[in-house]
Chains A and B, each alone.
Chain A
Amino acid sequence: MNQIVSRRFFLSATAAMGGGLMVGISFSNTALAAAGSTVNVWVTIAPDESVTILSSGAEMGQGVLSSMPQIIAEELLVDWTKVKTGAAPSGSQYLNPVTHSQSTGGSNNIRSWFKPLLTIGAATREMLVSAAAQSWGVPVSQCKAVQGAVINTATNATLTYGALASVASTLPVPTSPAVLSSAGSYKLIGQPVARPDIPSKTDGSAIFGIDVRVPGMIYAAIKHPPVFGSTVNAITSTPAGAKSVNVGNAVVVTGATTWDAFRNAKSTQVSWTVPAGNSSASSSTILAKATALLKNGPTTPAETIGDVKAGLAAAAKQINVTYTLPFVPHACMEVLNCTASVTATSCEIWAPTQGADANLRTAIALTGLSAAQITIHPVLMGGGLGRKFEQDFISQAILASKALGAPVHLTWSREEDFSNDFYRPMAVCSVNAGIDASGAITAWNNRIISPSVMMRMFPAYVKNGLDTVAVAGAVALPYKMGSRYVDYANVPSPVPVGFWRSVGESVNNFVLESAIDELAALAGKDPYAYRAAQLSDARALGVLKAVAGMIGWSTKPATGHARGIAVSEGFGSYIAIAIEMTAATASTVTVTRVCAAVDCGTVVNPDTVVAQIQGGVVHGFSSALWGNTPISGGAAQLRNFDNYALTRMGNMPHIDVQIVNTPGAPLGGIGEVGVPAVAPALANAYFALTGKRLRGLPLKIVTPIYGDD
Chain B
Amino acid sequence: MATQAVTLTVNGTKHTVNVDPSTPLLWVLRDALGLTGTKYGCGIEACGACTVLVGGGAEKSCEMSVQDASGQNITTIEGLAATPMHKVQLAWIAEQVPQCGYCQSGMILKAVELLQQTKTPTDAQISAAMSNLCVCGTYQRVRAAIHRAAAM
A positions within 8 Å CB-CB of B: 59-63, 194-195, 197-208, 210-211, 213, 219, 241, 256-260, 262-263, 331-335, 380-383, 385, 411, 413-414, 607, 611-612, 614-619, 622, 640-642, 646-650, 652, 654-655, 705-709
Contacts and interface: CB of A to CB of B under 8 A. Distances in A.
Going nearest first, the 6 A-B pairs with the smallest beta carbon separation are A204-B37, A618-B137, A382-B102, A201-B101, A61-B100, A61-B99
B19 A256 contact: yes
Interface in B14-56: 19-20, 23-24, 26-28, 30-32, 34-49
Contacts of B44: 414, 640-642
Contacts of B85: 202-203
Contacts of B99: 61-63, 611-612, 615
Contacts, number: 207
A649 B139 contact: yes
Contacts of A219: 31
A674 B140 CA distance: 15
Given A611-B99, A650-B127, A707-B46, A207 B36 contact: yes
B40 A258 contact: yes
A708 B81 contact: no
Contacts of A204: 35-38, 76-78, 81, 105
Contacts of B104: 201-202
B46 A647 contact: no
A376 B23 CA distance: 32
Interface residues of B, number: 67
A195 B96 contact: yes
A197 B136 CA distance: 16
Given A257-B23, A655-B140, A333 B128 contact: no
B98 interface: yes
Nearest to A621: B137
Contacts of B42: 414, 640-642
A205 B76 CA distance: 12
B151 interface: no
B136 A615 contact: yes
A382 B100 contact: yes
B131 A203 contact: no
Contacts of A263: 1
Contact of B137 (A382, A614, A640): A614
Interface string B80-102: 11000100010011001111111
A334 B39 contact: yes
B20 A256 contact: yes
Contact of A257 (B19, B49, B108, B134): B19
B147 interface: no
A640 to B, nearest CB: 5
B141 interface: yes
A42 B98 CA distance: 25
B76 to A, nearest CB: 7
Contacts of B77: 202-204
